[in-house]
Structures are given as structure tokens and as C-alpha cells.
Amino acid sequence: MATYISEPSHTFSEYLLVPGYSDASCIPSNVSLRTPLVRYRKGEEFPLSLNIPMVSAIMQSVSGSRMAEALAREGGISFIYGSQSIESESAMVSQVKSYKAGFVPSDSNLKPTDTLADVIGLKQKTGHSTVAVTDSGKSDGVLLGVVTSRDYRVSRMDPDTPVSTFMTPFSKLVYGTEPLTLSDANDILWEHKLNQLPIIDSDRRLKCFVFRKDYDSHKENPNELLDSKKRYKVGAGINSRDFKDRVPALLEAGADVLCIDSSEGFTEWQKRTLEWIRSEYGDSVKVGAGNIVDREGFDFLADCGADFVKVGIGGGSICITRETKGIGRGQATALIDVAQARDDYMKKTGIYVPICSDGGLVYDYHMALALAMGADFLMLGRYFARFDESPTEKINLNGSYVKEYWGEGSARARNWQRYDMGGDKKLFFVEGVDSYVPYAGSLKDNLNLTLSKVRSTMCNCGALTISDLQKKAKLTLVSSVSLVEGGAHDVILKDKGPEPIK
């Protein structure tokens, strides 16, 4: 006879937080959102942590290199989508790792015989306006000069003009010579009022650049998530099929953390993947697994060596797994169950395995609820897909701007690797849809607003850290009538009036 769980499973919208005592220190500016990303032993420092409890989903329509850079700048991390070739995913990871470094390898290089047209084409390809001119046209050639956007005017110059005629020649460059500390390089930048400083070796071969904007960026974004070399941290998705080839390539590209992207994680496929990674790399490679929705699934993946576990099946806005296969669980109930399993696992083993709530987050206040229910961090797809930084096109649809958003289980993604269907390299049926989401503007502005709400909610509960929130939170189920009561009701809302002239 089947096992029956008599209690119904609930969603986030069925819960509210009950306010707790807040002392005078409970103000949003005092709230820390730092949280562990991977497993650690009790009493030890987190091996990897986030400065905000948010990561972007492993999806084609969400997590490209631009999203990864923008989210790391705010203190979170992106998992570059794995439903692409190993080479292209590795290239995205490399791009993120080279974007924000104290010492940046040059990815825009030309020979002196190249032309203005080559400069323009290279700028369009890389997005970078600083071009190094070397004898070989490669990043490790002898430095002959530098071209920036101040050195040419497209409207007044022939596209065939040789680079050598308008570059700033080496004789007029301010440069640094190895060995040189980042602090010394920044001092030279400020002393000479430069935007970039080329670094060369004793043979005048180009080694890298140091950019003034990186220094300014860090001052403006104190929560930046950086590695020991002051590069942005970035994650990458893997699957349980080609992991023996994909994992080494992603690590070579610089990925800081990996995550198995699968529709369901309580499987032998994930066990094999984790066992291989541990046998090849030990504990040096950090890898998350999932998704699961109950205690058994968590214990299984934690024992297999997962560094974090993703919770949630069927709750995503573009996921139709529940209606297609009848598989899943209400996200709130799943999260509460797994959080208790994580705490019990900690008591039993002394090891804390963070959990990630993935799916079912519709409103900003759901994020505070998920953290209170035990999530260490949140994985979001629809939320990030709306922003400028997502990889999809912005489209005018019936007078309103939208962005494309499709599930990894959709026919468009063709991501058969995340479904455990034996050896067939195809989708038999879809578990996701192709859709649009309302365009919302930049990540930074929206994220700051969302996090201000989360911090304010935490203060209402008397908590200044996520772990405090989980200890102090009081949650209550609400009725359907209470949901109506919680919004504006029994009033006549004023019209917004005419739009302001722009």
C-alpha cells in the first residue's frame, strides 16, 4: 500500500510572519544577509559564502555572463547554464572571471598593421574599448601601443586607417613593470589620472591591465563577491551525463562552485556524479545537488557529499512538472521538512549542509518567508529574467515591454540532460513552457528594493542575521479570507492619473 502523508502541502502565500520584539538596534542598515553557500563543519568558517542570499537559476533565459557579473557585483552568484556546449559554457565562465580582476588579462589585441575597422569590430565583439597593440597581435606579445576610444573618431576617419597611425605609442605610455602589487598599480593610476595601466615584464611583453573602473566599482559596491585574486565569483551548471568532460573544463575556466542541474535529485545518477567528483578532486571542488522535496532526499544527497541541496519540484512559474507527471510538493512544506532534516543532520554529524529554496517565490515577501522557514539562500529564475542583464531579448508586446523566459524543460531549451531518461538524447514530452515576463529594468535598482523589504521584515521579527531570523521567526497559516484581508479592500482606489511627460 502506498504511503500517505495526511497533512496537505502548503505554498508561501499560505503563511505570514508574526512580528517579534525589536530592540533599538533592529534597523535595516544593521542587518547582515551573509549566508553559507557550501557545507562546513560546526565551529569552522564558511569555505564559501554569499553576501546576499540570492543566486540565479541554471537557465538559458537567465544566467549568462552578463547576469553573473551583475549579480556578483551585488553579493550573490550566478550558475551559468549548462544546456550548451562545454566550450561555450567554459567561455562564459572565463569571461566572468576576467571581468573583475585586479590584474586583467587583455582580451582585445591587435597588430600595428590592423585597421580602424578591426578596432571597431573587436570592440563590438568584446564590449571593451581598450585595445592593446602588440607585435604579434596577441595578449602576450611585445607591447607597442594602446588604443582607446579617445584615440579615434569613426565619423572622420577612414576605416582602413592603420592602427599604428593613431594609437598611443609605447614611448608615451605610463605603464607598470612586474613585479608590482595591486596597491602600487592603483597608486600609479591615481597619480597620473589614468583610466587603465598596462603591466609588462622585463622583456616588454604585455602581462595584463589594471583598470581604474575596477577600483571605483569596488568602492561603490562593497558587497561584491570576489575570490582571493579579486575576481568575481561564478558558478556553473553540470549534468549527470557528460560530467567527466564538463567538470574539468569548467574548473580550468575558473568556476568557483558547481551545481548538478536536474529535475529530480533523489537518483543514482546524482550519486554517481558526486562520487566521481569526490574521487577525482576530493573536497576541493564544491558542488550542489538536487532537487528534492523531503527528508529522505536531503539525507541521501548529504551522505553522497553534496555541498548544498536544492529544494523544490514543480513550483517554478514556467515549470509544469506537477500537472504533467503529478510529481512535486508545496514549496513551503517541502522547505520546512528539509530544513528540519538539515538541522538534524548537523546534530548527528557536526556538518552543516546549506539548503537552497528553488521555485515558488512569487512576491518579495516570499523571500523573507523562505529564509525564515530555513532556506540558507534562494535560487530565482523569473525574478532575474525580467532584468536588462538576462540573456534574452526585450520585446514590445502590445505596447508593453517584456522579456522572453522559457523553462529548461521546454522544447525550446531541449535540455534532455537534466531528465533521467536513460540514454535517449531527446525529450519525450515537455515539463516547461515558453513565455514572457514583464520587463523591469536594471538588476541593481530592483534588487536593492527587494532586499530592503527583506531587511525590514527581519527587523520586524527582531533579527539582524538570517540565522537569527530562523531561530526567532514565528509563522502562522492563513485562511483564504485572511489573504483577501491582507490586501487593499473595501475602498475605492484612486486612479494613477496621467503619465508624466518624459
Please give the Cα distance from 52 to 450 (Å, whole number).
11
21-55 core/surface letters (b: 16 or more CB in 10 A; e: else): eeeeebeeeebebebbbbbbeeeeeebbbbbbbbb
- Its sign, for the CA torsion 431, 339, 58, 39, is negative
| CA distances, 43 to each of 284, 334, 346, 435 (Å) | 19, 28, 12, 45
- CA Rg value for the chain: 25
Structure-block grid coordinates of residue 283: 573536497
Q: CB atoms < 10 A from the CB of 388, how many?
A: 17
Rounded to 5°, the CA angle 93-390-419 comes to 70
Task: Kindly list the catalytic residues.
Answer: 319, 418
Residue 136 neighbours by CB under 8 Å, 6+ apart: 111, 142
Find out whether 71 and 378 touch, Cβ atoms under 8 Å. Answer: no
Q: Provide the β-strand partners of residue 257.
A: 235
Can you spell out the DSSP letters for 139-191? TTSBEEEEE-GGG--GGGS-TT-BGGGTSEEGGG---EESS--HHHHHHHHHH
β-pairing, 377-380 vs 54-56, is: parallel
Find out whether 231 and 101 touch, Cβ atoms under 8 Å. Answer: yes
Residue with cell 569552522: 44
Find out whether 117 and 161 touch, Cβ atoms under 8 Å. Answer: no
Please give the Cα distance from 370 to 51 (Å, whole number).
17
Residue type, 432: G
Residue with cell 574599448: 129
CA 94, chain centre distance (Å): 15
- Which of these, 291, 273, 502, lies nearest to 409 by C-alpha position? 291
Structure-block grid coordinates of residue 452: 530592503
Per residue, the 3-state secondary structure of 360-421, as one string, reads CCCCHHHHHHHHHCCCCEEEECHHHHCECCCCCCEEEECCEEEEEEECCCCCCCCCHHHCCC
Structure-block grid coordinates of residue 433: 513552457
